[in-house]
Chains A and B, each alone.
Chain A
């Protein structure tokens, strides 16, 4: 695979739930160390899209290639080998609430890299927590953390496996503007430090503008426009205008 080859390639992706046609032919490519933002209203199928990309959901039609491999045709073991190279930051952070921060980070490491020394595990945990600026929270339980801290721990937990791809599901949803800004910066820092390619799912235009090299708008089950933030929002199409206005007028959360 050459250097410029896309890391993620999605073609003709479709998925319905019963009568509800959520995705109707999504095409998307993400290049090396590129940040692509997918914008869409709540319920437009953004989470469904990235869950299909990591194989948590199966598509009805279409192909997802990650590192040149068709995710939905892999055997479980081969899929796992791809998954350890992908970091997934959940909308709800999805921290294991029976474990403290340290154990949350150690868990994927110990399960996937058997035979690591205690010292190596400790170093990896400290490094990942440092990367998200939360070294002090190491012994806290998830329930004691704020929303922004939970997001960071969730991101640290994926960084610990040195991912090559990051998928962020609504990284700034439900956070105050200051914390949103910090998370946006963190997303940029992660790319710098780990050279990750990322898909950032959001309905927050500030987040999209700051973090995205390219922006795509998910509308009626397809990616309606893809390009730089400026070029997409220069489009006079009323649906894009209404999305723009909706975002700044109502600031809904999903």
Chain B
């Protein structure tokens, strides 16, 4: 058998092959998630897992982000005597960018790595093949359920993160500027448009999908041995973070364009 010649370099070839495999994986998801059987109970269980795993950390990071961002922004605004703009600045930053990003990053670390490790260890101990020979489609039972769960839960957690962050910010503003909750909410949301809200939710759907599908892909393609499992978990986190930032940049462009038309 002739050795297959590489097109560019072996590294580039491997990268392109992985991109091809990954796209196929995504296409397979969209080809199968709407077909029965749906494994509704497993989807609900996975949603619960995603929520439970990330809720404590999101509460903490969201709250701290709200407080710290408020504290750090105050001096620059005070220089113009514009501390009354604090609520609207913070709300804008949280809704548009901070809450979706913080939530996506926390979920990548907590949920992405655990899905990658779980499926990776199922792969190397032949549990995925065991499902297949029992006439259970492991792609549907494992990949579709988990990816749906992250896709549905990351937006929910983003809204929650936003809420917690604003709470932190309000406590800080109330302490320093003695502003009432009513005034905070009113000035905070004065600048927020409908486009801001729905684009953030849409963005977090995309982030959630990205985190789930990348972790499942890494788990399904884990190589034999225990180090394969570790590598799958690690790659789930690194790749998903990278993808989330790339998507953020692209989505911001699209939203800017939408805002201008």
Cβ of B127 and Cβ of A56 under 8 Å apart? no
Let me know if B133 and A83 touch, CB within 8 A.
Answer: yes
Q: How many A residues, CB 8 Å from partner?
A: 27
| 63-92 of chain A: CB within 8 A of chain B | 76, 80-81, 83-84, 86, 88, 90-92
* Interface mask (B123-142 → A, CB under 8 Å = 1, otherwise 0): 00111011011111100010
Which residues of A32-54 have CB atoms within 8 Å of chain B's CB atoms?
51, 54
A111 (CB) vs chain B CBs: closest residue: B136
A96 at the interface (CB under 8 A from B): yes
The residues of B that contact A83 with a CB separation of less than 8 Å are: 132-135
- Other-chain residue from A91, A92, A95, A161 in contact with B134 (beta carbon distance below 8 A): A161
Residues from chain B with Cβ under 8 Å of A80 in the complex: 135
* Interface assignment of B8: CB less than 8 Å from any CB of chain A: no
B1 contacts A by Cβ under 8 Å: yes
Does A179 belong to the interface (CB within 8 Å)?
no
How many A-B pairs with Cβ below 8 Å? 55
A108 contacts B by Cβ under 8 Å: yes
A97 within 8 A of B: yes
* Min distance, Cβ A225 to any Cβ of chain B, angstroms: 28
Contacts of B121 in A (CB 8 A): 97
Q: How far is the CB of B143 from chain A (nearest CB, A)?
A: 16
Interface check A19, CB cutoff 8 A: yes
Q: For the complex, is A94 an interface residue (Cβ under 8 Å from B)?
A: yes
Interface residues of B (CB under 8 A from A): 1, 3, 37, 118, 121-122, 125-127, 129-130, 132-137, 141
Given contact pairs A92-B126, A96-B127, enumerate 18 new A-B contacts (beta carbons under 8 Å). A16-B1, A54-B133, A56-B132, A80-B135, A88-B130, A88-B133, A91-B126, A94-B126, A94-B127, A96-B122, A96-B130, A97-B121, A108-B134, A108-B136, A111-B136, A112-B134, A112-B135, A112-B136
Pick 22 A–B contacts, CB within 8 A, sort by A.
A19-B1, A51-B129, A54-B133, A56-B132, A56-B133, A80-B135, A86-B133, A88-B130, A90-B126, A90-B129, A90-B130, A92-B125, A94-B125, A96-B122, A97-B125, A97-B127, A107-B134, A108-B134, A111-B135, A112-B134, A112-B136, A158-B134
